[in-house]
Copies of this chain bind each other. A is one copy, B any other.
């Protein structure tokens, strides 16, 4: 995704010029959900970064945020900043960007599924997408979080890259089209695989089997595909074309579990040219 030139660019931008680290990046964070909270916590004490304000519609999560950060409920009256991070639900990003009453500074959203064009503000736009799942009550080590950034010009890319590198060494230039595909990819790798665990647990519960018996297998599965690649790491009845076991399994399942078993087994059989 990052060409060699772009890679050199981004290193030059962040490590040589360091223009934004010599001054301070002033940030307003918009939103009070999981991402807003984790970004506030992670950025707050970083050198060269100052969260000058945060906006939230309602005070529900106020106690969770650091009380030292200035809070506002007025979207059309935000503090002056270099960067406005819109960390709200995907379906209100455009609406929030329309309501912003700012003339200067860079506005970014944090969404994997939305284009940079979904921002309808009058100033420069970008994307700052931490590729991770966040919950309020689970600490995240941001050093391990890849951050996908996009901007309309090199200056803004520089600012986002500098900021992202303050959080994590894993900074990637990803344009809106790539990010959409990355998001679909994440649905398979993250959401759908979790649904596989849900079905697996249901089956175990149904027959009074402790689901945690499968934890080491699941761990090994993840560790293995990282070494071999998932295609080569594939095992199981469909991979070895064991139609008698597949049939036996299908006979024991019903409804949507049966359909999923058939759909995925067919896909694996086809994928490995059986």
Contacts and interface: CB of A to CB of B under 8 A. Distances in A.
Interface of A: 1-2, 90-91, 113, 131-133, 135, 138, 140, 144-146, 148, 170, 172, 174, 177-178, 180-201, 203-204, 206-222, 224-227, 229-231, 233-239, 242, 244-245, 248-249, 252-253, 256, 259-261, 263-264, 266-268, 270-271
A114 to B, nearest CB: 9
B187 A217 contact: no
A189 B257 CA distance: 13
Contact of A213 (B146, B221, B227): B146
A224 B184 contact: no
Give the number of copies in the complex: 2
A230 B209 contact: no
A223 B227 CA distance: 19
A19 to B, nearest CB: 27
Contacts of A200: 185-186, 188-189, 230
B235 A217 contact: no
Contacts of A226: 212, 215
Contact of A267 (B204, B233, B252, B260): B260
Contact of A90 (B188, B190, B198, B242): B242
Contacts of A259: 263, 267
B266 A216 contact: no
Nearest to A240: B89
A193 B191 contact: no
B185 A214 contact: yes
